[in-house]
Amino acid sequence: MLRIENISYSVAGRPLIEDASTVIPTGHRVGVVGRNGTGKTTLFRLIRGELTLDQGRIETPRGARIGGVDQEAPSSDATPMETVLAADAERGALLAEAETAKDPARIAEIQTRLADIDAWSGEARAASILSGLGFPESDQRRPCSDFSGGWRMRIALAGVLFSAPDLLLLDEPTNYLDLEGAVWLENHLAQYPHTALTVSHDRGLLNRVVGSILHLEDRKLTLYATPYDGFAKARAARIATAEAESKRQEARRAHLQSYVDRFRYKADKARQAQSRLKAIARMEPITLPSEAALRRFGFPEPEELAPPILRLDGASAGYGDTVVLSRLDLRVDQDDRIALLGRNGQGKSTLSKLLAGRLPTMKGRVERAAKLRVGYFAQHQLDELRADETPLDHVRRMRPDEEPKRHRARLGGFGLGAEQAGMAAGDLSGGQKARLALMLATLDAPHLLILDEPTNHLDIESREALVEALTAYGGAVIIVSHDMHLLSHVVDRLWLVDGGRVEPFTDDLDGYRRMLLKEPVIHAASKPRPASSAESKRPTRDSVLALRTEARKAEERVEKLEALKTRMDRKLEDPDFYKNDGAEIERWRKKYAEVREGLDLAEALWMKALEKLEAAEETP
């Protein structure tokens, strides 16, 4: 087991961990959570012996191997396969010794140990891990130096998983993974045979993989024997209890102080007053858990445009002479919430760039609403922030005519206070940089917001704030993310990018996850295998709820379009409108025709959704 006893550690004289203790039983999978900056990464470095404790001790079983992903990703001429195989130092040493050993007894020991650690299946296991993390067989034989930093971090992760240490320490392992890689990793960790501690802000992982939560807060460690949702409830109850006790104590203190103030100078009451003063002094303050304020995101609201705001008609896209996506017939309306699914390399980023107007079509047409504004957030944009400029400088450059207080208000709406606003962007934390990039992407109140892995570097509170902001947002949202919790709460449509095509995915996110775990490759045309019995065809409660949601959203879309058509009717019926020039009148007539077309389509979709719902509810 891992035993942590009364440990303390300070950074530059500031206590980070103080007199903290916990015990992790052998074989347990534990999620480590806490606000950014509380010391989770430092705790891992202390366990690995990379830092020296101020006091206390950390005990691990004698001879236990401790493994984690190094901060520096491997970059060499060695291939990913070679790098992963080399991560198991014992296997490598035994295989090398087996080539030269002469003593029969030692040869027997080596062969027995090689069999114990399943050394002969090493290449197959390494290939399986690399494949699960997104490396096709052809990439497993390329030099590591060919890959970007993010992909090299995947190689490092593959190495530590292959070596299967007795104590596995993973610090935000999904930050460099796509959804497909994250699903594979979850499944792998759920079956991990040894003790594993994982720092993560991914609620889905913390609910599906771990059995306990280790919470680092107020410099202390608290172990909750439950996945994340149970921890969240227990902690909320603890906070509510502490708040109630604190209020009662304050009321008691005020009552005693009132008596002291009234009678401390009266001779006949002096003794009682002194007694109450001593009672006040004996009261130990009730410390409330430090609660992260919900740092909301303030997305500016766009005006409404007539649907569709964007349409692809037989479009193709790619790079140079290479076609990545073809025959795209897609439509985006302003109330759409769409997730892009698909394995790495299938074209999700290509589609995002095409929709954002950052990549031209090679064939076909892309029709955009006349006043369409698009906001685009991609992972690499964090690296494009000017490191020597402050967040204020970034906003000032994009809004030179605004007053400074308005600049600060914009930054404050994304949780960047006065202190962060004046810091160089290069000195901001990863989460603060992500907030700045999100603010810049939404500065113009875009009608279409395209987000590529927006939750990387955001803590759980910030992710919840992002979910709330996107849910309330008045524009269309298209998301690529490995965070299943975010997707399940925000999106209502799924597009699968695979084989050069983009098709609607008819199942839900859980269905997609199941398919990923069952099938190595998913094709756009794939559909769930038909059930063999009438019982299995019966609609489930979840499927009926999904149909009700679909019908409700379809009805809301019809209502929005009817309201827009009514406003346009009034405008077109106003005689003063026809004093405009002919081009303006024609533009409005064209827009009115588009609204009527959109309303007809929306009504048809609504009726279809109602029919599906009625059929499901009538099924015995």
As a whole number of angstroms, the distance between CA 94 and CA 106 comes to 11
pLDDT band, very low/low/confident/very high, at 510 (cuts 50, 70, 90): confident
- In the chain, pLDDT over 70 holds for what percent of residues? 87
Give me the pLDDT at residue 373, please: 95
Mean of pLDDT values over 471-491: 91
Give me the pLDDT at residue 617, please: 65
Contact 369, 309 (CB under 8 A): yes
Give me the pLDDT at residue 383, please: 65
Ranked by mean pLDDT, which of 67-76, 113-122, 200-209, 236-245 comes out on top? 200-209
Mean of pLDDT values over 456-467: 85
Out of 61-65, 583-587, 597-601, 615-619, least confident range: 615-619
**Does the residue 298 lie in any domain?**
no
Mean of pLDDT values over 111-118: 84
Q: Looking at the structure, do residues 263 and 378 belong to the same domain, yes or no?
A: no
pLDDT exceeds 80 at position 68:
yes
- Residues contacting residue 519 through CB under 8 Å, at least 6 positions apart: 526
Longest dimension (CA), the chain: 105
Domain that holds residue 429: 310-527
pLDDT exceeds 70 at position 602:
yes
DSSP class of residue 337? E
As a whole number of angstroms, the distance between CA 569 and CA 85 comes to 70
Residue 142 vs residue 608, higher pLDDT: 142
Q: Looking at the structure, do residues 28 and 132 belong to the same domain, yes or no?
A: no
Q: Looking at the structure, do residues 175 and 145 belong to the same domain, yes or no?
A: no
Residues linked to residue 15 through DSSP beta bridges, in sequence order:
10
DSSP 427-491: GS-HHHHHHHHHHHHTTT--SEEEEESTTTT--HHHHHHHHHHHHH-SSEEEEE-S-HHHHHHH-
For the stretch 422-432, pLDDT in tens is 888 888 877 88
Q: Print the SS3 string covering 97-127.
A: HHHHCCCHHHHHHHHHHHHHCCHHHHHHHHH
pLDDT band, very low/low/confident/very high, at 523 (cuts 50, 70, 90): very low
pLDDT band, very low/low/confident/very high, at 259 (cuts 50, 70, 90): low
Residue 475's nearest CA partner among 295, 296, 294, 307 is 307
Give me the pLDDT at residue 220, please: 92
Q: Looking at the structure, do residues 555 and 469 belong to the same domain, yes or no?
A: no
Helix (H, G, I), strand (E, B) or coil at 14: strand
Give me the pLDDT at residue 495, please: 94
As a whole number of angstroms, the distance between CA 237 and CA 558 comes to 42
Residues linked to residue 31 through DSSP beta bridges, in sequence order:
198, 213
Q: Looking at the structure, do residues 347 and 419 belong to the same domain, yes or no?
A: yes
pLDDT exceeds 50 at position 252:
yes
- In the block, residue with structure tokens 């490759």: 521
* Full strand arrangement of the beta sheet holding 363-368: 322-332, 310-319, 363-368
Give me the pLDDT at residue 267, please: 61
pTM confidence score: 0.70
CA dihedral 514, 199, 202, 11 (to 10 degrees): -170
For the stretch 25-49, pLDDT in tens is 999 999 999 887 788 989 999 999 9
Domain boundary among 466, 496, 527: 527
**Does the residue 295 lie in any domain?**
no
Contact 209, 189 (CB under 8 A): yes
Give me the pLDDT at residue 117, please: 80
Find the DSSP H helices in 210-309. Answer: 228-263, 270-282
Enter the tokens of residue 339: 């997730």
Q: Looking at the structure, do residues 160 and 177 belong to the same domain, yes or no?
A: no
Residue 322's nearest CA partner among 362, 357, 354 is 362
Give me the pLDDT at residue 618, please: 65
As a whole number of angstroms, the distance between CA 498 and CA 503 comes to 8
As a whole number of angstroms, the distance between CA 368 and CA 495 comes to 20
**Does the residue 239 lie in any domain?**
yes
Residue 315 vs residue 525, higher pLDDT: 315
- In the chain, pLDDT over 90 holds for what percent of residues? 35
Helix (H, G, I), strand (E, B) or coil at 382: helix
Q: Looking at the structure, do residues 342 and 469 belong to the same domain, yes or no?
A: yes
Residue 527 vs residue 176, higher pLDDT: 176
In whole angstroms, how far apart are CA 540 and each of 48, 287, 526, 565? Answer: 48, 47, 21, 38
CA dihedral 101, 106, 112, 113 (to 10 degrees): -80
Give me the pLDDT at residue 287, please: 53
Q: Looking at the structure, do residues 343 and 213 belong to the same domain, yes or no?
A: no
Mean of pLDDT values over 446-460: 89
Q: Looking at the structure, do residues 27 and 78 belong to the same domain, yes or no?
A: no
Give me the pLDDT at residue 619, please: 64
**Does the residue 155 lie in any domain?**
yes
Distance from CA of residue 91 to its chain's centroid? 36
- In the block, residue with structure tokens 């839900």: 508
CA dihedral over 296, 300, 303, 308, signed as positive or negative: negative
Q: How many domains does the chain have?
A: 5
Out of 219-228, 258-267, 369-378, least confident range: 258-267
Helix (H, G, I), strand (E, B) or coil at 501: strand
Residue 203 vs residue 519, higher pLDDT: 203
Torsion region of 299: left, alpha or beta (phi above 0 gives left; psi -120 to 50 gives alpha): beta
Mean of pLDDT values over 239-260: 72
**Mean pLDDT, rounded, of the chain:** 83
**Does the residue 546 lie in any domain?**
yes
Q: Print the SS3 string covering 124-151.
A: HHHHHHHHHCCCCCCHHHCCHHHCCHHH
Domain boundary among 164, 189, 218: 164
Give me the pLDDT at residue 600, please: 79
Mean of pLDDT values over 331-359: 91
In whole angstroms, how far apart are CA 324 and each of 78, 330, 464, 505? Answer: 29, 16, 34, 19
pLDDT exceeds 90 at position 451:
yes
As a whole number of angstroms, the distance between CA 168 and CA 87 comes to 13
Residue 613 vs residue 513, higher pLDDT: 513
Q: Looking at the structure, do residues 214 and 238 belong to the same domain, yes or no?
A: no
Contact 144, 76 (CB under 8 A): yes
Helix (H, G, I), strand (E, B) or coil at 519: coil
**Does the residue 344 lie in any domain?**
yes
Domain boundary among 164, 184, 218: 164
Helix (H) or strand (E) holding 395: helix 391-398
**Does the residue 364 lie in any domain?**
yes
pLDDT band, very low/low/confident/very high, at 66 (cuts 50, 70, 90): very high
R_g of the chain, CA atoms, integer Å: 30
CATH of residue 406: 3.40.50.300
Q: Looking at the structure, do residues 249 and 212 belong to the same domain, yes or no?
A: no
Residue 452's nearest CA partner among 482, 429, 430 is 482
Q: Looking at the structure, do residues 385 and 452 belong to the same domain, yes or no?
A: yes
Mean of pLDDT values over 587-604: 79
- Residues contacting residue 534 through CB under 8 Å, at least 6 positions apart: none
Give me the pLDDT at residue 526, please: 32
Residues linked to residue 222 through DSSP beta bridges, in sequence order:
215
As a whole number of angstroms, the distance between CA 412 and CA 418 comes to 8
Give me the pLDDT at residue 21, please: 94
Torsion region of 321: left, alpha or beta (phi above 0 gives left; psi -120 to 50 gives alpha): alpha
**Does the residue 297 lie in any domain?**
no
Q: Please count the other Cβ atoms lying within 10 Å of the Cβ belonging to residue 386.
A: 12
In whole angstroms, how far apart are CA 252 and each of 249, 279, 280, 329? Answer: 5, 10, 9, 69
pLDDT band, very low/low/confident/very high, at 294 (cuts 50, 70, 90): very low
